[in-house]
Amino acid sequence: MPKRYDDVFNVRVITRNGKLTSAEQQAVAAAAEKFGSGEVTMTTRLTLEIQGVQYDRLEELFRFLEQSGLETGGTGSKVRPVVSCKGTTCQYGLIDTFDLSEKLHNLFYKGYHEVALPHKFKIAVGGCPNNCVKPDLNDLGFVGLIVPNAVRRLAGVDMRFDIGLCAVCGAFITVLSDLVARVLFAPAELPAGIIMAVLGSPFFLYLLIKRRRSYDTIQ
């Protein structure tokens, strides 16, 4: 990745949605000491950048990282590495973002990495409506929602029925929220999103309380 100086570069190391093993982290640190300035930064796309690498040492650095199973890149007008929040390791998470983002990473980043695009293409996976990784600002975004989570808890995990049931329940809640928003303070209208948030809050609080109790039990 070229910077302000022609002969000094930052080398971007790809992670698995921000995750590296301790051995891989040690390899990155060793590479930074041996080939760079000794500094490593984290990007907003959850990759690592080894700072201050001289041009004539780039190939040697690439080989050093490859020996530890690490790859570089993630820039240019291509599919970028997929990012995600912590998912179900966070008390607010509704979906396993690491599992989904890893599948998307293998499918899109690895599968289409060599395809040149008109512009960079970014993908993000968020575990709940808090949108910490801003999926809606990416070219392709996924967000964990309360309705699908509630359906799985009530009807079990069976995609043959869950997809249709999610569509029906989601449509019902949307229509109900819109109706209440129009009638509650007529002739004034509330945004339907406010009513949807109020309807979803009790289930969201239930999840938080349940996970808090589980955490206390473990402790």
Q: Are 162 and 169 in contact (CB under 8 A)?
A: no
SS3 205: helix
Residues 72-84, mean pLDDT to the nearest whole number = 90
DSSP state of 110: I
Q: Cβ distance 101 to 95 under 8 Å?
A: no
The C-alpha atoms of residue 84 and residue 37 are separated, in whole angstroms, by: 29
Task: State in words which class domain 8-66 has.
Answer: alpha beta
pLDDT tens for 81-101 read 999 998 878 877 777 888 889
Residues 58-74, mean pLDDT to the nearest whole number: 94
Mean pLDDT, rounded, of the chain: 83
Residue 8, pLDDT above cutoff 60: yes
CB 209 within 8 A of CB 91: no
CA distances (Å), origin 153, targets 23, 167, 176, 210, 216: 38, 16, 22, 13, 22
Q: Is the pLDDT of residue 133 over 70?
A: yes
- Quote the pLDDT of residue 113: 83
Taking residues 7-31, report their average pLDDT.
Answer: 92
Residue 87: count of CB within 10 angstroms of its CB:
22
Distance (Å) of CA 16 to CA 25, 97, 171: 12, 12, 35
Specify the domain boundaries for CATH 3.30.70.3340 within the chain: 8-66
Query: C-alpha angle with apex 210: 205 to 212, nearest 5 degrees?
Result: 95
pTM, rounded to two decimals: 0.66
In this prediction, residue 29 has a pLDDT band, given cuts at 50, 70 and 90, of very high
Give the sign of the dihedral formed by CA 156, CA 205, CA 212, CA 99.
positive
Strand segments (E) across the chain: 8-13, 40-42, 48-54, 83-84, 123-126, 140-143
Q: Quote the DSSP letter at residue 108.
A: I
pLDDT at 217 over 60: no
Report the pLDDT averaged over residues 19-43. 94
Tell whether the model's pLDDT for residue 118 goes beyond 80: yes
What's the pLDDT band for 131 if we cut at 50, 70, 90? Answer: confident
Is the confidence at residue 34, as pLDDT, over 90?
Answer: yes
Comparing 35-49, 65-79, 156-170, the range with the smallest average pLDDT is 156-170
In angstroms, the CA 102 to CA 99 distance is 5
- Say how many C-beta atoms besides its own lie within 10 A of residue 218's C-beta: 6
| pLDDT score at 136 | 84
